[in-house]
């Protein structure tokens, strides 16, 4: 039986669930939110009215649907900016970008998902971009795998594998074999496992206990990737990690 937490405020949980649903979907009506949340329309209406008065949601005048505002993005950005490691890593991301001119990402893993904490986007017209704050499954992401490879007590059997592309890893056995290779090589080249046409090279950032607490990657359209660039990106990332050194959590 799940232990009851006497400190939970159920009304707050319901309100934040509504807000999270809006952020995921982009724009929804009161009826749509009532259906997915299981709450009454009047309750949803009051919650949305409160968030609107606080500036977190706004209403589309054409269809009366609600959508999240930039205030939420600003709140998340301020929180991310206060992550100490992000401030340490930022100059290195800029240095990598100046040498490769491809998109550079910095991320962490939370509940087996990669959270993109910072990035510098290529100016190339052909690019594939995942915005800061986006969450993707760690098992099919270069950032995620490089972190999972050095995560103690990681249990691959608890992953719910979904075949996102034809190349997505689809079993605990295959994932564990990949993580073994990452531990041996110190890097990963992920080829179109999450997005068709996107190749990523990533390396982990580790602490004194050899635990990976974050990762850096270079992402490029597969059509711009070749063996020479792969070798160049791997060396660039590994040299950067050597400069960063061992970090504390």
Task: Judge contact between 245 and 89, C-beta under 8 A.
Answer: no
Q: Give the domain CATH number at 57.
A: 1.10.10.10
Same domain, 121 and 210: yes
Is residue 3 included in any domain, yes or no? no
Q: Give dist(CA 158, CA 186) in Å, integer.
A: 24
Q: Whole-model pTM? A: 0.68
Same domain, 27 and 96: no
Look at residue 82 and tell me whether its pLDDT is greater than 70: no
Tell me the two tokens of residue 14.
Answer: 């319901």
C-alpha distances in Å from residue 119, one per residue of 11, 94, 134, 174? 35, 9, 11, 29
Is residue 112 included in any domain, yes or no? yes
Tally of structural domains, the chain: 2
Task: Judge contact between 100 and 218, C-beta under 8 A.
Answer: yes
Task: Judge contact between 89 and 106, C-beta under 8 A.
Answer: yes
Tell me the two tokens of residue 84.
Answer: 């100490």
Q: What percentage of the chain carries pLDDT values higher than 70? A: 92
Same domain, 162 and 185: yes
Same domain, 104 and 188: yes
Same domain, 53 and 136: no
Q: Residue 143: exposed, middle, or buried by beta-carbon count in 10 A (0-12, 13-18, 19+)? A: buried
Range of the domain at 121: 83-244
C-alpha distances in Å from residue 178, one per residue of 27, 36, 118, 194, 241? 38, 37, 25, 15, 21
Determine the pLDDT at residue 1: 41
Determine the pLDDT at residue 243: 86
- Helix, strand and coil content of the chain, in percent to the nearest 5, comes to 45, 20, 35
Q: State the pLDDT confidence band at 179, using cuts at 50, 70 and 90.
A: very high
3-state secondary structure of 125: coil
Same domain, 42 and 99: no
Of residues 85 and 216, more confidently modeled: 216
Same domain, 188 and 89: yes
């Amino acid at each position: 039986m799940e232990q009851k937490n006497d400190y939970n405020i159920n009304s707050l949980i319901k309100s934040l669930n509504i807000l999270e649903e809006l952020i995921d979907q982009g724009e929804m009506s009161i009826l749509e939110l009532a259906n997915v949340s299981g709450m009454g329309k009047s309750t949803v209406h009051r919650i949305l009215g409160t968030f609107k008065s606080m500036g977190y949601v706004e209403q589309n005048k054409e269809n009366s649907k609600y959508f999240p505002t930039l205030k939420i993005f600003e709140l998340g950005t301020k929180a991310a900016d206060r992550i100490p490691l992000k401030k340490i890593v930022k100059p290195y991301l800029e240095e990598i970008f100046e040498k490769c001119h491809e998109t550079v990402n910095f991320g962490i893993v939370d509940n087996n998902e990669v959270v993109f904490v910072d990035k510098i986007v290529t100016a190339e017209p052909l690019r594939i971009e995942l915005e800061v704050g986006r969450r993707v499954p760690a098992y099919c992401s270069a950032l995620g795998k490089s972190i999972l490879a050095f995560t103690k007590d990681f249990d691959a059997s608890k992953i719910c594998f979904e075949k996102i592309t034809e190349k997505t890893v689809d079993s605990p056995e295959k994932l564990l074999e990949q993580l073994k290779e990452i531990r041996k090589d110190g890097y990963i080249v992920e080829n179109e496992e999450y997005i068709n046409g996107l190749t990523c090279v990533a390396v982990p950032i580790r602490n004194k206990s050899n635990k990976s607490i974050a990762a850096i990657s270079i992402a490029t359209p597969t059509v711009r990737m070749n063996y020479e660039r792969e070798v160049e990106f791997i060396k660039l990332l590994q040299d950067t990690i050597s400069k960063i050194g061992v970090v504390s959590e």
